[in-house]
Structure 1
Amino acid sequence: MELTPQDVWTLASTALVLIMTPGLALFYGGLVRVRSVVNMMLFSVSAMGVVGVLWILFGYSMNYFAEGESGFAGSPFKDFGLIATAPADFIGVGFGAVFAMITTALISGAIADRVGLGSWVLFSGVWATLVYFPVAAWVWGGGWIQNLGGTLGTPDVIDLAGGTVIHINAGAAALALALVAGKRLGFGPGSHKPHSIPLVTIGAALLWFGWIGFNSGLATETGEAGLILVNTLGAPAAGIVGWIIVDVLRGKKPGVIGAASGAVGGLVAITPSAANLAPVWALLLGLVAGFACAFAIEWKYRLGYDDSLDVVGLHLVAGVIGSLYLGFFAFDDGLFMGGDAGLLLVQTISVVAVMAYSFVVSLIIALAVKMLTGLRVPVEVEEGGIDAVAHGEEAYAYESPAVR
């Protein structure tokens, strides 16, 4: 069987999405203090390992409902180890795997500087099994959210590349995990400054680069792919503008960290909707997301939870905005585009359901991991630096003058 142009593009898109997780490692690594860079980057890399193995063993099988199958998720045993998978399906298997990897890695930004690798690996494996794989089946694999429109007599839920499955899911889990982990030592505004703006910039660039494949990897028509491309460029561009405007209006000096965060907010918001919005509405969405996320990252100080790298303020907030925005501006079915409230209804149900499920189950998993491992590293390790004490590596190994 020969490769089709669609197969080739999905293969290329898989590579684009795969590079996003190392890009996330750089983005997160630049945002933490120099003594915990290795730990933070290792969280992303280890998620690739753990989730990649689980995906092949049973995650892909749980990710979809076979004909006549129903329930909480697809059976993990119907295609354990991909033994029964047809060769023609393997490209899709690989494309799904890289989504599962980065979704899990996103959560780790909430627990920088204070959680051990073993605790994270245990949490990530259980979370992928009990939360990510089922939610992906609900939304994309023939589950109840994908069929919600037919059930209620409304338009179908729209989630192109993971507003609910990826961003709301990871953001809600990050909030639960951050609450259980507790605050970093010395937590407060300005207490934990990013150590490397160049790393953040490189990481953000790789994320944006990979996001083109993330959103358009399954596009089948030139017009659809072109629309997704333009919206994936426009929304984050507007997100940058929105974030900088907020900083200026609040009397803050605009900087690269804010601009990069604005781009990520715009990318998150356009993820569910890139194929269903006219470019002008994608620009407005990015602007709104940039505005909202710039304010949302301050919530952790007001509400007292330590979401270290703003997974909640970026991914949860922008994911909710992008998913609900479709109810107003989606082609044909949006309230302002000739439709009625049906699409907004099902979008809202999907957002609330995924957010609630992910938060509750993630909280239970985090509490169980805390009982088993303690979750946090000892105080002396956190004070001395996780990298040197727990990993025996440092991000920057400087030679002494005598050695030179």
Structure 2
Amino acid sequence: MQLSLEQVREMAPDEKSVIAANKIVSLNHWNSPGLSDVAIWGKCAGGRYQVRVDLQNLGSHCNCPSRKFPCKHVLALLMLFTSTPDAFEITDSPEWVADWIQKRRQREQQKSAGKVQPSKPVDPEAQAKRIRERESRIAEGLQHLIVWMDDLIRNGVAGLEAQPFHFWDTQARRLVDAQAKGLASRIYRLAEIPNSSRDWPERLTNELGRTRLLVHAYLNQGELSPSLQADVRQLIGWTVSQADLQASGTEIEDDWFIFGQRVEDEDRFTTQRSWAVGRKTQQEALFLQFAPGKQGFSESIVPGTCISGKLVFYPATVLQRAKISERSEEQHVSAMDLFYLDSIEDFLDSYADRLGRNPWLASCSCLLKEVSIAQHKGDWYLRDKHGYGVPFKSLETYRILAMTGGQPVHVMGEWNGNFFSPWSLLVNQQFRICS
């Protein structure tokens, strides 16, 4: 597995961990770093901390007391391996590494075979009762939401930019109490729109309309197709259990190239969003992982690397969210092997088709060939060679301009219906992360 220092830094839970890791990258801090066909390892701090990394999926473990994952020792070992691979002796894995790898493989096999059983049997009658009670609470919460939204539209959106956060928070909390957490999140996103741009009234009205349509769809879900019904229920706040995912999910096998990742820290947990695309199928895949505090995520997903194997996609009209079902031997896939659309017009046609199937589609991935960044009347745009453009938004605009020299490059990113957000680039045949 080939890694760059940039990719290793992307794995860090925060910038402080990168700084701390840089201080112990030197060989003076490591005892007997080794390399086998399945792992790298080393001992740090005079042998006190044993560090190991699984080369199949970059899973790692260190016996230090840090609550961050990966810790500075794991990051430093990967940095050392990236910068000085010859320092690692090629040999068989020592016992403490081999045992760890063996246990990981056993867990992965049990997981893929579906052998992990629930801790206690489910009572069907009690479960059906809980579902009925929740449906009733959600229906009541939606009726209150309809009244609130109708009043809001009747009074007009003018002046909403002056409303305090409490105006939106009260309604969102009611939906949380009604167990419609997905809708509550939509209300919080609505609260971010007023005064956020020149066209905010139009954007807010559009989102209010889509939210009202979602409520109507849920209250009439019996008339929807099974896939659209699955979309609506998940948007409201219902989750898909692992058993349901295995039973009704769609499984696709490919070599999945990870082209971007975002990590967001919230009150009590951390969310990781990773976009991937299949080399052969061109199917997009969105991995979502959640972890409490600074704990690590269950799967190691690193931008610029490839996951070969089967993914299972959540039931939906537009397949996006996926989980790793089965890993196979990793294939060498680079960003140069991917399919890029030739024009922005082709992408927008594709997006319109997906939006027609799911009008609540929050975002989708986008890979564009030979596009450049241009500024017009103070706003940034992504422009293709045919002259078409879309609004462009990034905190790293000037850094991207410096990397590309203002020349057309292949861009991988995310489109949310309003603007394009770049996640990575292909510059001079080199994969570069934007963040």
Indicate the TM-score class for this superposition, using the shorter chain for normalisation. under 0.3
Q: TM-score, normalised by structure 1?
A: 0.26
Between Structure 1 and Structure 2, which shows a larger proportion of strand residues?
A: 2
Between Structure 1 and Structure 2, which shows a larger proportion of helix residues?
A: 1
Q: Of the two, which has the highest radius of gyration? A: 2
Higher relative contact order (CA 8 A, sep 6+): 1
Q: TM-score, normalised by structure 2?
A: 0.25
